[in-house]
Structure 1
Amino acid sequence: MPAGRHPPDHAPLELERFLPYQLSIVSNTVSQAIADDYQARHDLGVTEWRVMAVLARFDGLSAREVAERTAMDKVAVSRALARLVAAGRVRRHTHASDKRRSVLGLTAAGWKIHDEVAPMARQRERELLARLGPDEQAWLRRILDKLMPQDGHES
């Protein structure tokens, strides 16, 4: 076999054409563009923002449920929650009927940040989607809906 060539079972993966890689690059690029805005204004990381966004949509979740809904690592979610609680952005209290379970929600300070960041995030989404025509946008939504994990949670 010529130098520099690999047998088929050792052929390098063409990352630039590999769908999971492409989705990750698009996601990271868009997320970081939004994050640049709220990190500077609110000293808020991507994981913290995602936790806040989920709690704004679904008040009263446990840390485990936040991790499930965001598909993020439980340890990363736990650290983000600790920072958010310490900063007074998220409240944590004990569930009324299950004293072992913590229930989470945004505080007034958390809502204030959410209500400033969410419109910025929506604007970034509009800018990204503006690169596509209406039919392409509809197809993208349908394709993403098909590719999303089917775990029974509404999004």
Structure 2
Amino acid sequence: MTESRDQGAFRDPEAELLSDDGNLALLIRLLKLGSFINTPMKEGVCEPHDIAQTELKVVMALAGEGALAGHDLVNIMGMAPMNVSRAIAGLRERGLIESVEDRDNRRRKPVRLSAAGEEFYKTFGPELQKLSDEVLGTLSARERASLTRMVDKVNAAMAGWITSHHQDVKLGR
């Protein structure tokens, strides 16, 4: 085994996947982007606002999608149910979310941002602006417009995948 590594036989699995020009290479790049954004969001947004990353993700999901139940958040964000439950409990304790009634399914327990939660969400603006300038500032206006269209298209495809694989998930908007 050591001999083959010394002779250059060691393989780089990521490089092999990225050598594909198709969807697989792009998916790997998106996954890497999703991983890389966590540290700047944690340091640039979560820490100044004293909010856990999981809680921030729930706040942003509720701000973007409207009322969602815990299992919706689990399926949308791909997080462990216990982590989502803890985030909901922490946000509820801080008065940032509130329960709403689902008239179609009384067992479903959706939550939404409270008025205080909406105001709290708005306070992220300066940090999000600074972070977006640092991360996306090298893009031209044309590149940003193009990337926006592509991201919207990919997000729509992901939402479609989630709802087709998890029929009980209700996306708000």
Q: What's the TM-score bracket when you normalise by the shorter of the two chains?
A: 0.7 to 0.9
* Counterparts of 1:12 and 1:46, CA distance in 2: 31
Residues 1:141 and 1:73: Cα distance change in structure 2 (over 3 Å): farther
Residues 1:89 and 1:145: Cα distance change in structure 2 (over 3 Å): closer
Q: Which residue of 2 aligns with 1:84?
A: 91
Q: Secondary structure at the match of 1:3?
A: helix
- Residue type of the partner of 1:87? R
Consecutive unaligned residues of structure 1, counting only runs of 5 or more, are none
* Counterparts of 1:117 and 1:11, CA distance in 2: 43
Q: Which residue of 2 aligns with 1:14?
A: 14
* Structure 2 counterparts to residues 42-81 of structure 1, below 5 A: 42-81=49-88
Q: Using the TM superposition, give the Cα deviation of residue 83 of structure 1 relative to its aligned residue in structure 2, in angstroms.
A: 1.6
Q: Using the TM superposition, give the Cα deviation of residue 117 of structure 1 relative to its aligned residue in structure 2, in angstroms.
A: 0.9
Q: Which residue of 2 aligns with 1:29?
A: 36
In the superposition, the TM-score normalised over structure 2's length comes to: 0.66
Q: Which residue of 2 aligns with 1:127?
A: 134
Say what the alpha-carbon RMSD is for the aligned residues. Answer: 3.4
* Counterparts of 1:47 and 1:75, CA distance in 2: 11
Q: Using the TM superposition, give the Cα deviation of residue 22 of structure 1 relative to its aligned residue in structure 2, in angstroms.
A: 4.2
Identity %: 24
In the superposition, the TM-score normalised over structure 1's length comes to: 0.72
Number of residue equivalences = 153
* Structure 2 counterparts to residues 74-113 of structure 1, below 5 A: 74-113=81-120
Which range moves more in the overlay, 55-64 or 33-42?
Answer: 33-42
Q: Using the TM superposition, give the Cα deviation of residue 48 of structure 1 relative to its aligned residue in structure 2, in angstroms.
A: 0.8
